């Protein structure tokens, strides 16, 4: 289908999303009030924009400020069909289910946040209630929650990176830019200013800036400095929505990228594909994303030349963000 023809289904998709949003706005559809304050982290794009590292950062920030958060996610691509599934209980240390059941992102979040409950469920109200009942949390971070209008939330944080273009399938937007009117905070990553097309819809939103920094490489049992491969050839492997951002992160560490093996988002490479990556690398290092790392077999991860890149979120206006978070959580 040519790009011009894609405008037709894109217009239909736009209309459906506008009608859905309007139905919630006028009360024809009702959002459920959760038993605990909910902070949503989302975006407008079909692909990724750094939601997972930002969710991890936000949970760590809330813990540092004395709160007891949980993370709730849909569990995209996971096989779970229960109302809710506990991926990490905040006590055991490691995730207690397989990533094929929970989905890649919730598993990674649980692995990175051993003291924070992580729960998945398609209807987010069920895991939110479970977080409150089972773990007594005082805040829930809703991963990829901006479009989940059935659940009321106290704070909506929307990540933007400047690639927001047109409605799917003509572009990559899953909601029109006008949906930004619902956002309490616009978190810009990689750009300084809100794109002009989106500006009319963000007049009531706080505008903050964040960056995703790569300073640590993970081996199977240890960590090394991000500069470990500075000036050296590496092969990259990724199965994420934004492989070009991953490549840029590796290059910022000084890596000389001789090849980048790209799989579709959420793909789980089989053994033959992993052998292909190793053959392409030869004596060079192989670097993958941390999200890809959680779903790969031990025989591959234990190779001496295989590493994963860890992202760290930095928010420029962190004190202002803390103020809004505190106001949201203590208001109820």
Question: How many other CB atoms are there within 10 angstroms of residue 192's CB atom?
Answer: 8
DSSP 8-state class, residue 228: G
Q: Give the pLDDT confidence of 78-95 residue by residue, as tens digits.
A: 889 899 999 999 998 889
Summarised one tens digit per residue, pLDDT across range 95-131 is 999 999 999 999 999 999 999 999 999 999 999 999 9
More confident residue, 1 or 244: 244
- Tell if the pTM clears 0.95, that is, is over it: no
pLDDT at 162 over 60: yes
Q: In the chain, pLDDT over 90 holds for what percent of residues?
A: 77
Tokens encoding 169: 């399938």
Domain boundaries, the chain: 30-211+314-330, 214-313
Q: How many residues appear in the chain?
A: 332
Lowest mean pLDDT among 2-11, 238-247, 265-274: 2-11
pLDDT digits (tens, 9 = 90+) for 181-218: 999 999 999 899 999 999 999 999 999 999 999 889 99
Q: What pLDDT score was predicted for residue 239? A: 93
CB of 121 within 8 A of CB of 5? no
Query: At 49, is the pLDDT very low, low, confident or very high (cuts 50, 70, 90)?
Result: confident
Whether residue 1 is predicted with pLDDT greater than 60 in this model: the reply is: no
Mean pLDDT of the chain: 93
Local confidence band at 25 (pLDDT 50, 70, 90 cut-offs): confident
Residue ranges at the known binding site: 45-52
Single out the residue of 64, 181, 86, 193 nearest to residue 131, CA to CA. 86
Q: pLDDT tens, 277-323?
A: 999 999 999 999 999 999 999 999 999 999 999 999 999 999 999 99
Region for 93 from its dihedrals, namely left if φ exceeds 0, alpha if ψ lies in -120 to 50, beta otherwise? left
pLDDT of 157 strictly over 80: yes
Reported as a single tens digit per residue, the pLDDT across 60-73 is 999 999 999 999 99
Annotated binding residues for ATP:
45-52
**Is pLDDT at 167 greater than 90 in this prediction?**
no
Tokens 């420029």: give the residue: 316
Query: In Å, how far are 54, 74, 234, 235 from 274, measured between CA atoms?
Result: 29, 28, 15, 12
| Cα(215)–Cα(143) distance, integer angstroms | 24
Specify the pLDDT at position 47.
73
Confidence of residue 332 (pLDDT cuts 50, 70, 90): low
Confidence of residue 11 (pLDDT cuts 50, 70, 90): confident
What does each C-alpha distance from 244 to 49, 191, 193, 194, 240 come to in angstroms?
12, 16, 21, 21, 10
Axis-axis angle for helices 104-112, 51-64 (nearest 10): 30
Q: Do the first three CATH levels of 30-211+314-330 and 214-313 match, i.e. the same topology?
A: no
pLDDT of residue 2: 54
pLDDT at 249 over 60: yes
- Supply φ then ψ for residue 210, to 5 degrees: -135, 160
Query: Around Cβ 139, how many Cβ atoms within 10 Å?
Result: 23
| Number of helical (H) and strand (E) elements in the chain, helices listed first | 10, 13
The pLDDT score that the predictor gives to residue 76 is 85
Does domain 214-313 fall into CATH 3.90.550.10?
A: no
Residue 142's pLDDT is what? Answer: 98
Residues 121, 84: contact at Cβ < 8 Å? yes
Class of domain 30-211+314-330: alpha beta
Summarize the confidence of residues 159-166 as an average pLDDT.
89
Per-residue pLDDT tens digits for 254-272: 999 999 999 998 899 999 9
**Residue from 164, 89, 86, 96 nearest 126 by CA:** 86
């Amino acid at each position: 289908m040519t790009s011009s023809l894609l405008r037709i289904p894109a217009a239909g998709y736009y209309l459906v999303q506008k009608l859905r949003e309007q139905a919630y706005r006028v009360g024809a559809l009702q959002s459920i009030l959760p038993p605990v304050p909910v902070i949503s982290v989302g975006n407008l794009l079909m692909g990724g924009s750094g939601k997972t590292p930002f969710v991890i950062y936000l949970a760590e920030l809330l813990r540092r400020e004395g709160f007891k958060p949980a993370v709730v996610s849909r569990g995209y691509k996971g096989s779970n069909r229960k109302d809710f599934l506990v991926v990490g209980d905040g006590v055991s240390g490691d995730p207690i289910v397989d990533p094929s059941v929970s989905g890649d992102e919730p598993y990674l979040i649980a692995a990175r946040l051993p003291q924070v409950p992580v729960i998945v469920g398609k209807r987010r109200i069920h895991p939110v209630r479970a977080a409150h009942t089972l773990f007594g949390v005082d805040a829930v971070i809703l991963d990829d929650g901006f479009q989940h209008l059935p659940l009321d939330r106290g704070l909506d944080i929307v990540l933007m990176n400047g690639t927001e273009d047109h409605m799917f399938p003509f572009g990559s937007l899953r909601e029109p830019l006008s949906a930004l009117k619902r956002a309490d905070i616009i978190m810009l990553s990689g750009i300084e200013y809100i794109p002009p097309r989106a500006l009319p819809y963000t007049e009531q939103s706080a505008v903050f800036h964040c960056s995703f920094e790569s300073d640590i490489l993970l081996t199977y049992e240890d960590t090394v400095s991000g500069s470990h491969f500075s000036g050296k050839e590496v092969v990259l492997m990724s199965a994420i929505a934004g492989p070009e951002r991953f490549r840029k992160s590796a290059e910022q560490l000084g890596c000389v990228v001789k090849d980048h093996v790209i799989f579709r988002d959420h793909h789980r490479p089989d053994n033959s594909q992993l052998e292909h990556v190793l053959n392409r690398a030869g004596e060079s290092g192989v670097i993958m994303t941390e999200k890809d790392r959680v779903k790969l077999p031990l025989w591959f991860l234990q190779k001496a030349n295989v590493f994963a890149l860890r992202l760290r979120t930095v928010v420029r206006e962190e004190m202002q963000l803390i103020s809004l978070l505190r106001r949201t959580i203590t208001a109820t």
